[in-house]
């Protein structure tokens, strides 16, 4: 993921100015994240937190949450802007958290640069760090087929929601609900809310 880190580091200030606030998000995104957070029990992780605005938002809503991101410039900005919240430079492919230690994981566009042969890496990490019954809210770019496209920073991937669901099922999740948003000025967004299955369920 060094290429991803370098690409975002080079444009970190631009990204922060354009997208580094909850106010820049679509209102329905905020509603989805707020509703998910209301159901989280225990510690949570903002996986791929970027400039830290969602991490701060969740903290203000009373969630015990920390953020991780590969981009040092994002983490530096988050630490200075939101000093009451913990932020670490770390990869969603190797999350610094114990097995089963979290009640919730937010992955908001953080897997968009993972190719189909690598998407299972962060999904397995999300499953590992969540306790049974813990929830993952995953936002992704929606499409009719799994395909790459020219993202503003570097190539990213669109996924049909049912394909993402299959990948999640394979690592121990079950879907609770899905959402799809389209609109003028926005790329189609898919969202999967899923639950970490109990070991007995995963083995069944």
Q: How far apart are CA 67 and CA 87, in angstroms?
A: 5
Residue 38 pLDDT > 80, yes or no?
yes
Supply 40's token pair.
Answer: 């989280």
At residue 20, the pLDDT reads 66
90-137 pLDDT, tens per residue?
Answer: 999 999 999 999 999 999 999 999 999 999 999 999 999 999 999 999
Per-residue confidence band for 178, with pLDDT thresholds at 50, 70 and 90 = very high
Q: What is the pLDDT of residues 55-80, one digit of tens each?
A: 999 999 999 999 999 999 999 999 99
Position 9 scores a pLDDT of 79
Do residues 167 and 123 touch, judged by C-beta distance below 8 A?
Answer: yes
Task: Write the class of the CATH domain 2-203.
Answer: alpha beta
CA 190 to mean position of chain CA atoms? 12
Cβ proximity of 8 and 15 under 8 Å:
yes
Cα separation, 176 vs 27, in Å, equals 21
pLDDT of residue 147: 94
Structure tokens at 109: 């566009």
Report CA Rg, the chain: 16
Domain ranges, ordered by start, for the chain: 2-203
Kindly report, residue by residue over 180-204, the tens digit of the pLDDT. Answer: 998 776 778 999 999 999 887 655 5
């Amino acid at each position: 993921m060094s290429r991803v880190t370098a690409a975002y580091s080079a444009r970190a200030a631009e990204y922060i100015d354009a997208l580094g606030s909850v106010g820049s998000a679509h209102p329905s995104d905020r509603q989805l994240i707020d509703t998910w957070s209301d159901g989280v029990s225990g510690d949570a992780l903002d996986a791929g937190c970027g400039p830290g605005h969602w991490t701060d938002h969740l903290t203000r809503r009373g969630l015990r949450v920390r953020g991780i991101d590969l981009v040092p410039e994002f983490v530096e900005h988050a630490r200075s802007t939101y000093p009451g919240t913990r932020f670490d430079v770390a990869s969603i492919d190797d999350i610094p958290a114990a097995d089963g230690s979290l009640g919730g994981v937010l992955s908001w566009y953080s897997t968009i640069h993972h190719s189909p042969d690598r998407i299972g890496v962060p999904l397995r990490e999300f499953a590992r760090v969540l306790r049974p019954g813990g929830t993952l809210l995953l936002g992704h770019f929606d499409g009719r087929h799994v395909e790459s496209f020219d993202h503003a920073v570097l190539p990213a991937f669109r996924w049909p929601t049912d394909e993402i669901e299959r990948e999640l099922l394979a690592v121990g999740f079950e879907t609770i609900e899905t959402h799809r948003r389209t609109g003028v000025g926005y790329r189609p967004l898919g969202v999967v809310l899923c639950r970490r299955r109990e070991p007995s369920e995963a083995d069944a």
